[in-house]
A = this chain, B = another copy of it.
Amino acid sequence: MAAPQKKRTTKNAQSMAKGQRDISISEFFTKNRHLLGFDSPAKALLTTIKEAVDNSLDACEEAGIQPRLFVEIRSDKPVNLGLELSSQETKPKNGNGKNGGKSGNKEDRFKLIIEDNGPGIVKEQIPKIFGKLLYGSKFHSLKQSRGQQGIGISAAGMYGQLTTGQPVVIYSRTGVDEPAHRFKVKLDMKKNQPTILEGDETIWDKEHGTRIEITLTGSYKRGQHSVDNYLEQTSIANPHVHLTYKNPKGEIALYPNSTDSLPVEPREIKPHPYGVELGILARMLVDTKSRNITAFMKDEFCRVGAKTCENILTEANIPPRRNPRKLGQVDIQRLLDAIEVTKIAAPPTDCLSPIGEELVMAGLKSGVEADFYTSVTRPAAVYRGNPFQIEVGIAYGGNLPGDELAKVIRYANRVPLLYQASACGIHKAVLGASWRNYGVQQSRGALPTAPMVILIHMASVWVPFTSESKEAVAHYPEIIKEMTLALQEAGRQLKRHINRRAREKDALKKQSYIQKYIPYIGEALQEILGIDDVERDEVIATLTDTLERSRKL
């Protein structure tokens, strides 16, 4: 190591060194809250509900329980501080101070309640799940689920705490023979650790499930980016979910389940060799419990059987009994190069749980009134070693507005994506799908203009989002390509419908045209052939009849 340092380093390098500090992950995300979807009061409200609903649905499905959810946004006036009257008498609130420099977004205080009939959470886990960022079960596993980072629900709790000082309240019960628990948890922002304010047994009439209450300042709005819209879209893509929603005005919306069968349980898979990188491989080689490189390759990756393994190791010139922990830098590079040139089967795709063509169509029909519906579920494909699958549904015509841009509904692992449409790979795929080929108007660089709703769903063991707030899918070329293929297939079906409609319209036009002239034809024939009025009327009747019959064909 270095020799002892002399005392004469320049003042600047040393004084700068004094400023260097650790940054806690909670401090980081507090300052960068827009990364998590908390950049405006309206979005904070939506993000919190979204994270809680995602978790509830994941947990129910994992436990094989048909989800019944209750979501409520309740106005929550802060404790009367004896301040409001006097301050309102002397000066109008927001007149002078802080809100002058604010964005003008109206903020109110709400209590959000999300309750499910899921498996509950064992009590030891409750504090960490709700009071610690980057803690969860989904990050380390390759499995299709709504949550993936272990950051969402604790960030929502942190935001509530930041804006109202209130802890997250959790009720949980894991079974009818178990006691229910009520926890109040805060997040220590310097240590990124939970602080338990309360954690006692309680009486709860639910047999099993979880209930969360988060108090925060937010803003309740209607429209495209609203909680209302999010929950409606959730029910379209999750027809097995029974959902009751009460908004701050006390209005209740009920979304009953339209099917009783749960989605196919997605399987967890191992990483595929094509997706691995040098640094990751090096770490896996150190962490493995396998005693030789052959076992390592077969145990830690999917699609590596005896023959494939032999091919790779021969190519890499590594003995099959070699201890994986003894591989050096050069060996690892060799191994990686060998993987690259060896033919390995694509990863298994039964780990995915798409919605399915039938239910996509049923969902669209329940949510959108149109003339024509179609849906396409593509076979599974792979990006960077991760299996994924694309589904598209189209609703067309009916009462949908014909002179507006088509509406695109985006989903990732059954979760609706409401923000950042133009940054999303799904949007890019829709833009690029050459709609004019399918009889639909489209200006350059714009969405198609048509009475149309397009639904796209990406199911994957790992959805690459453009930010932690999970609002847009990153532009991986393999993903865009699959989306394009699905859109084209649905587009061809749409084209057949549009063509048929056009032909029908055309035939109708021709027919009414001919119909109009049939009497004149009759009269002309009468004149030329010298037939009488009865014969003329017979001819007219025959012609009309023929026309009718040809129309029916």
Taking Cβ atoms with an 8 Å cutoff, the residues of A that contact B are: 1-3, 5-6, 8-10, 12-14, 16-17, 19-25, 27-28, 30-32, 34-35, 39, 59, 62-64, 78-79, 81-83, 87, 91, 93-99, 101-104, 119-125, 128-129, 134-141, 149-151, 158, 161-165, 174-175, 177-179, 181, 189-190, 196, 199-201, 208, 273-274, 277-280, 282-283, 315-317, 329-330, 332-334, 337-344, 346, 382-385, 420, 422-423, 462, 464, 466-468, 474, 476-478
Cβ of B137 and Cβ of A474 under 8 Å apart? no
Q: Which of B17, B189, B199 contacts A122 (CB under 8 A)?
A: B17
Instruction: Please tell me if the beta carbons of B341 and A23 are within 8 angstroms of each other in the complex.
Output: no
Q: How far is the CA of A515 from the CA of B174 in the complex (A)?
A: 98
Known: A1-B200, A32-B468, A134-B22. A208 touches B277 (CB 8 A): no
Residue of chain B at shortest CB distance from A82: B317
Which one of B91, B164, B177 lies within 8 Å of A278 (CB-CB)?
Answer: B164
Q: Which residues of B contact A3 (CB under 8 A)?
A: 179, 201
Question: Which of A101, A158, A174, A385 has the most chain B CB atoms closer than 10 A to its own CB?
Answer: A101
CB of A10, distance to nearest CB on chain B (Å): 4
Complex CA–CA separation, A392 to B164 (angstroms):
39
Known contacts A2-B181, A5-B178, A87-B338, then 6 further A-B pairs from the complex at CB < 8 Å, ordered by chain A residue? A6-B177, A20-B136, A21-B137, A35-B35, A95-B341, A423-B423
Copies in the complex: 2
A23, B196: Cα distance in complex, Å: 21
Q: Is the CB of A16 within 8 A of B175?
A: no
Q: Is the CB of B17 within 8 A of A79?
A: no
Most interface-central of A14, A21, A150 (chain B CB within 10 A): A21
Task: Kindly state the separation between the CA atoms of A172 and B329 in the bound complex, as whole angstroms.
Answer: 27
Most chain B CB within 10 A, of A2, A104, A464, is at A2
Shortest A116–chain B CB gap in Å is 12
Cβ-defined contact, A98 with B468, below 8 A? no
Nearest CB in chain B to that of A58: its residue = B16
Task: Let me know if A78 and B333 touch, CB within 8 A.
Answer: yes
Q: Which of B161, B177, B340, B464 contacts A8 (CB 8 A)?
A: B177
Q: Tell me whether A16 and B87 are in contact in the complex, defined as CB-CB below 8 angstroms, given that A6-B177, A280-B162 are known contacts.
A: no
- In the complex, which residues of chain B have a beta carbon less than 8 angstroms from the beta carbon of A138? 19
Determine the distance from Cα of A138 to Cα of B31 in the docked complex, in whole angstroms: 13
Residues A134 and B97 in contact, CB atoms below 8 Å apart: no
* A-B interface, 4 closest residue pairs, ranked by CB to CB distance from nearest: A162-B279, A19-B137, A13-B174, A12-B63
Residue pairs across A and B with Cβ atoms less than 8 A apart, 21 shown, are A1-B200, A8-B178, A12-B64, A13-B119, A16-B62, A16-B137, A31-B462, A34-B466, A79-B333, A81-B330, A83-B317, A95-B341, A97-B342, A98-B274, A101-B274, A101-B478, A103-B477, A162-B277, A162-B280, A163-B277, A466-B467
CB-based nearest B residue for A35: B467
User: Is B81 within 8 A of A129, CB to CB?
Assistant: no
Cα distance A299–B443 in the bound complex, in angstroms: 59
**Chain B residue, CB-CB nearest to A286:** B190
Indicate if the CB atoms of A13 and B464 lie closer than 8 Å.
no
Residue of B whose beta carbon sits closest to that of A347: B101
Nearest residue, chain B, Cβ from A27 = B139
